[in-house]
Amino acid sequence: MANPSGGPEIEQLIQLLSRLPGLGPRSGRRAVLHLIKKKEQLMIPLAAALDRAVEAVKVCGTCGNVDTVSPCTICADPRRAESGLLIVVEDVADLWALERAGIGPVRYHVLGGVLSPLDGVGPDDISIDALIARAPEYREIVIGVNATVEGQTTAHYITDRLAGSGVKITRLAHGVPVGGELDYLDEGTLSQALKARTSF
């Protein structure tokens, strides 16, 4: 069959871009055509940036964040150590979301997933042992995993493992989201929101 997208180099580029989140074969082809048209302004700088990133990107040996140095800039910041607060998150995207929210000088621990029997993810497959080792350095550990059944099972498992460490363990509140309408919420969430009510 004739190759409709040019030579093998272009076809390979389309295939690779098609695997990126949000892109499929059609949008991958469009992106490649755009890159070819804007070779000087986009394609060459992108290739150079990718090359530099491949060389520079490291996974932080302390928290699991992605940065160009290890320990990452968050772990290396001495002001963050003073708060004594460690937030445990599922993956790097959650860490970045909390940083975007500007929650203050805290440190993080990225688990790299949650316990999931269906996916065959057990306690040894996520970064729990490293968290146990870090725990004594902190005053409080906030379990910031998702409010899903698997996320909360992981949270309880971590709490078990941290029992006896002497560190205060807390979790993010569950309840009515900003912009949420009460009549669209399920009974369990409403019940939890009522239990966790605060003074007004």
Partner 1 sequence: MEWSAEGLIIGVRKHGETSLILETMVPGRGRCFGLVRGGRSRKQAAALQPGNSALLTWRARLEDHLGLFTAEVTTMRAAVLIADRTRLYLSQMLADHLRLLPERDPHDTLLEAVLMLLDEHFDDAELGVELARFELYLLEELGFGLDLETCAVTGVHENLTHVSPKSGRAVCAEEAEPYKDRLLRLPRFLTADVPPEPGDVAAAFVLTGHFLDRHVWTARQIEPPATRDWLTMKLTGGL
- CA-closest candidate to residue 28, choices 40, 46, 43, 16: 16
Name 97's Cβ contacts closer than 8 Å, sequence gap at least 6.
none
How far apart CA 185 and CA 91 sit, in angstroms, is 27
Q: Determine which residue in the list 51, 99, 119, 137 makes contact with partner 1, applying CB under 8 A.
A: 119
CB of 157 to partner 1, least distance (A): 7
Asked if residue 78 binds partner 1 (CB under 8 A), the reply is: no
Task: Pick the closer one to partner 1 by CB: 12 or 148.
Answer: 148
Residue 9 vs 187, nearer CB to partner 1: 187
Rule CB under 8 A: say whether 68 interacts with partner 1. Answer: no
Q: Which stretch binds partner 1 (CB under 8 A): 53-61, 66-74, 95-103, 155-163?
A: 155-163
Q: Between 102 and 117, name the residue whose CB sits nearer to partner 1.
A: 117
In the bound state with partner 1, the residue whose beta carbon lies nearer, of 7 and 117, is 117
Q: Which of 148, 168, 172, 194 binds partner 1 (CB under 8 A)?
A: 148
Near partner 1 by CB under 8 A, which window of 46-54, 79-87, 116-124, 129-137? 116-124
Q: Is 192 in the site for partner 1 (CB under 8 A)?
A: yes
Residues in touch with partner 1 (CB under 8 A): 21-22, 115-119, 122-123, 147-150, 152-153, 156-157, 160, 174, 186-189, 191-192, 195
